[in-house]
Amino acid sequence: MAASMQLVSLPLQMPDISATHQEYRSRSLSFLSSKTKPVTVSLAASTSETSPSIPEKPEIELEFIGPQAGGDGSYPVDKASAVSGDKLLRTIMLDNKIELYATYGKVMNCGGGGSCGTCIVEIIDGKDFLNERTSTELKYLKKATFALNLQKPQSWRLACQTIVGNKENSGKVVVQRLPQWKK
Ligand code: FES
């Protein structure tokens, strides 16, 4: 028996490449929505159990006492806080718009390089939360006190050389601003 074979031409349909991305997206979404059940995933429930809580970094509280008493006889006090061991005292004061320099220092300061001696502060309380004096600091503190004809109190620091905190401690530091002008 002779086999006969018949060729049939099947129309090939190319995808409509003129369709926009948005059209394809909406087609696939409608297909899914008609054939699949909606699945709800609660992200809040899955993340709250798996992600560990981030421990808060220790902080140093700061109080800055002004050099001149107000009309009522009390000295103005500014407050700020900083992550322990993160910033220099100068940076904290400038960031918080707390006046650091006297008139001359505002214009002539070295920008925190430790070479002008105009960023003097007195540490009233909490010196243990600060770094040790640097050799640069000792040198320019001496120079500044000589220029101002003052004794050099052990509690004076250059704010641009003073690191607040050591990354692990927390506590309170009280700073006298412009101690050379205190009245
Ligand atoms: S800003 Fe110059 S010594 Fe501190």
In angstroms, what is the span from residue 117 Cα to ligand 1's centroid?
A: 5
Which residue's CA lies nearest to atom 1 of ligand 1? 112
Other C-beta atoms lying within 10 Å of the C-beta of residue 42: 8
| Residue 31 confidence (pLDDT) | 42
| Residue 183 confidence (pLDDT) | 73
pTM of the shown model: 0.69
- More confident: 32 or 133: 133
Whether residue 84 is predicted with pLDDT greater than 80 in this model: the reply is yes
Domains of the chain: 59-181 (3.10.20.30)
Q: Do 63 and 129 touch, CB atoms closer than 8 A?
A: no
In ligand 1, which atom is closest to the CA atom of 160? 4
Please state the rounded mean pLDDT for residues 14-36: 46
Band (pLDDT 50/70/90 cuts) for residue 1 is very low
In ligand 1, which atom is closest to the CA atom of 140? 3
